[in-house]
C-alpha cells in the first residue's frame, strides 16, 4: 500500500537547477592519478574520460551563482568504470577520478555557503559487473554468499563474454549492468542505506534513475520514508519519461518527475518543423516531431496541468535537454532565437526549471555521446544573446512570485486567422499575476488581448512585443512579451 506523502519541500518551487555531467564540466588540476585523458575540446567518446572533477565544480560555483542557479543536479558521482558512472562499483565512495569523498564534502560546504542545494543521481535498479557483490558471484558462481543479490537464471555466469546473452537479468540486456534483486531483503536494506547515507552527509535530495523498473512492492515508499526521516526537506524526483500520475502526489512516492512531456511539447512548439532531425534522440517516449502550432501546444499544456495538483506542478523538474537527448542548440540548427523561445517557456511554466550544463552558452551536441561535450570555457562568448537571455529569465523568475506559483491560466490563442502563432497564458494571481505571450512563427503577429488580460498600466518585464492603446499586442517574428 502506498504511503501518502506530505507536500514537496517548499524550496523546490523557488529552485533553478543546473545539471552537471561531472566528467565534462570543469577540470581543477587537483586530481593527479596519472590518467590518460581525452582532449577537452575533442568530440566525446563512449569510453573516454575528459577529467572533470568536483573540485572543478567548486571553482565554478561563483559563475553558477552569478547566473542565478540555486540548485545542482549531478549525474552519478560514485566509483565506477565508466565516464557517465551509471555502472556503480561502490555506492559509498565518490569516484577518486572526481576527487573522492573529500571533494564531495568540500562541494557540499561550498555550495551550501552560497545557498545552492545539491541533489545526487541514484542508480538503484542495476549495479555493475565491477560491484563487489556481483564480482563475488562471478568468482564463486552458485557458491557465492551473494548469489541472491541478483536475478540469475542459470550458472555459470560469464559477464565478460558478450558474444552470448547474459544468463542473468541485465539492464537492456547489457552484460555490464546486472539488475539488482530488490525482492531480497538484504539488497533493499543496502540500497535504503545508500539513500540515507548521502543525505546524512549533506545532499539535499535524489534524482532516481529508471525507478519504474524496480517493481518490488513498497520499495520507493520505504526509500522516501527513510530519506525524509533524515531530512524532511529532501527532494525526490524520478526519471519517468511519460505522464506520471501514479508516481507523485497521494498515489506515489516522489515529489516530482522529470517532466519530459512538457519538454517535448515545448520543443515541438518553439522549434517546430525547423528542427534538425539529426540531433533528435531515438526514444519511444520522446516526441518532438511533428511541430505544434499555438493551439495544439496550448492543448498539450492544459492536459499536463490537469494531470497534477498544485503541489506536484511546482515540484516537477522541467528541462529542455539532458545527457540523454540531443542539445537544444543542435536541435535548433544553431539558431539561438529558437532556443530562447523554448527557454522563455521553460522559465515561465509551473515547476523547477533545469538548465543542462552549457546550454546557456550554446553548447552543441547530438545524441549520446555527443551531447556530453566538455564545457567550452575558452569560447563562452559565442552566443552572448543566449547567455543574456538565460541570466535575465532566471532573474525574472526569482523576482516574480507569480512565476513560482502553481497558478496557471490559459488565455490564448484567441480563435481567428492567426490562431496558430501566438500562445498566451497567465501565472499567479492578484498583484503577482504575470502574463506571458510567445509568437513562435517566422512571421509577425497582432493579438487582440481579451478583456481584463492586461491592465493599461501593466508593466512589461521582458521581451520585444509591444501593446497599443486599444490593448492589442504586436509581435515581431519569434518574439516574446512578459507583463506584470
Catalytically annotated residues: 209, 239
Residue 265, SS3?
helix
Where do we find the cell 538503484?
124
* C-alpha closest to that of 435 among 462, 414, 474: 462
Question: Which residues have C-beta within 8 Å of that of residue 7, sequence separation ≥ 6?
Answer: 311
- Are residues 445 and 421 in contact, defined by beta-carbon separation less than 8 angstroms? yes
Residue 270 near residue 341 (C-beta atoms within 8 A): yes
Among 109, 111, 87, 102, CA closest to 53: 102
333 conformational bin, left if phi > 0, alpha if psi -120 to 50, beta if neither: left
> How many angstroms separate the CA atoms of 153 and 480, rounded?
57
- The bridge status of strand 460-463 relative to strand 88-94 is unpaired
* Contact status, residue 134 vs residue 150, Cβ threshold 8 Å: yes
Distances from the Cα of 462 to the Cα of 396, 400, 401, angstroms: 8, 12, 15
- Three-state DSSP at 478 gives coil
Return the C-alpha cell found at 117.
Answer: 542545494
Q: Tell me the HSE value of 244 on the side-chain side, using a 13 A CA sphere.
A: 29
DSSP state of 321: -
> CB under 8 Å to 197, separation ≥6 — which residues?
92
* Cα 104 to Cα 107: distance, rounded to the nearest angstrom: 5
User: Which residues are paired to 462 by β-bridges?
Assistant: 482
Number of H helices, E strands in the chain: 13, 18
> What's the CA gap between 168 and 165, in Å, rounded?
9
- Number of other CB atoms surrounding residue 196 within 10 Å: 17
Rounded Cα distance between 146 and 445, Å, is 66
Contact yes or no for 146/103 (Cβ under 8 A) = no
The grid cell for 372 is: 556530453
Asked whether the bond before 453 is cis by omega within 30 degrees of 0, the reply is no
Beta strands in 105-229 (DSSP E): 117-122, 205-208
Amino acid at each position: 500500500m502506498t504511503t501518502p506523502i506530505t507536500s514537496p519541500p517548499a524550496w523546490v518551487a523557488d529552485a533553478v537547477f543546473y545539471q552537471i555531467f561531472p566528467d565534462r564540466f570543469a577540470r581543477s588540476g587537483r586530481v593527479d592519478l596519472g590518467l590518460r585523458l581525452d582532449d577537452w575540446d575533442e568530440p566525446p567518446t563512449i569510453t573516454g574520460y575528459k577529467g572533470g572533477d568536483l573540485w572543478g565544480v567548486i571553482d565554478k560555483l561563483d559563475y553558477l551563482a552569478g547566473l542565478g542557479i540555486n540548485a545542482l543536479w549531478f549525474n552519478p558521482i560514485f566509483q565506477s568504470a565508466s565516464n557517465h558512472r551509471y555502472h556503480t562499483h561502490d555506492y559509498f565512495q565518490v569516484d577518486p577520478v572526481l576527487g573522492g569523498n573529500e571533494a564531495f564534502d568540500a562541494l557540499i560546504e561550498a555550495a551550501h555557503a552560497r545557498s545552492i542545494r545539491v541533489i545526487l543521481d541514484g542508480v538503484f535498479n542495476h549495479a555493475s559487473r565491477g560491484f563487489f557483490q556481483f564480482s563475488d558471484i562471478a568468482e564463486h558462481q552458485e557458491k557465492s554468499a551473494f548469489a541472491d543479490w541478483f536475478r540469475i537464471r542459470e550458472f555459470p555466469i560469464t559477464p565478460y563474454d558478450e558474444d552470448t546473452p547474459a544468463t542473468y537479468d541485465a539492464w537492456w540486456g547489457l552484460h555490464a549492468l546486472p539488475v539488482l534483486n530488490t525482492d531480497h531483503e538484504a539488497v533493499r536494506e543496502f540500497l535504503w542505506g545508500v539513500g540515507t547515507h548521502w543525505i546524512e552527509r549533506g545532499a539535499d535530495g535524489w534524482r532516481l534513475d529508471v525507478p519504474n523498473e524496480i517493481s518490488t512492492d513498497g520499495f520507493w515508499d520505504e526509500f522516501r520514508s527513510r530519506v525524509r526521516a533524515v531530512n524532511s526537506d529532501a527532494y525526490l524526483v524520478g526519471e519517468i519519461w511519460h505522464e506520471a500520475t501514479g508516481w507523485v502526489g497521494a498515489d506515489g512516492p516522489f515529489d516530482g518527475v522529470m517532466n519530459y512531456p512538457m519538454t517535448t511539447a515545448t520543443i515541438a512548439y518553439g522549434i517546430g518543423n525547423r528542427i534538425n532531425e539529426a540531433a533528435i534522440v531515438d526514444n519511444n517516449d520522446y516526441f518532438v516531431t511533428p511541430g505544434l502550432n499555438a493551439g495544439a501546444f496550448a492543448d498539450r499544456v492544459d492536459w499536463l496541468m490537469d494531470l497534477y495538483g498544485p503541489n506536484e506542478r511546482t515540484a516537477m523538474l522541467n528541462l529542455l535537454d539532458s545527457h540523454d537527448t540531443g542539445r537544444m542548440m543542435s536541435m535548433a540548427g544553431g539558431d539561438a532565437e529558437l532556443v530562447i523561445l523554448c527557454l522563455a517557456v521553460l522559465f515561465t511554466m509551473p515547476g523547477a526549471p533545469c538548465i543542462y550544463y552549457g546550454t546557456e552558452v550554446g553548447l552543441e551536441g547530438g545524441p549520446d555521446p555527443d551531447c556530453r561535450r566538455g564545457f567550452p570555457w575558452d569560447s563562452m562568448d559565442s552566443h552572448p544573446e543566449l547567455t543574456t537571455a538565460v541570466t535575465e529569465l532566471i532573474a525574472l523568475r526569482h523576482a516574480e512570485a507569480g512565476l513560482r506559483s502553481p497558478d496557471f491560466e490559459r488565455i490564448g490563442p484567441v480563435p481567428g486567422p492567426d490562431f496558430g502563432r501566438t500562445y498566451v497564458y497567465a501565472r499567479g494571481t492578484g498583484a503577482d499575476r504575470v502574463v506571458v505571450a510567445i509568437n513562435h512563427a517566422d512571421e509577425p503577429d497582432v493579438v487582440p488581448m481579451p478583456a481584463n488580460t492586461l491592465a493599461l498600466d501593466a508593466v512589461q518585464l521582458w521581451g520585444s512585443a509591444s501593446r497599443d492603446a486599444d490593448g492589442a499586442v504586436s509581435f515581431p517574428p519569434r518574439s516574446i512579451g512578459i507583463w506584470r
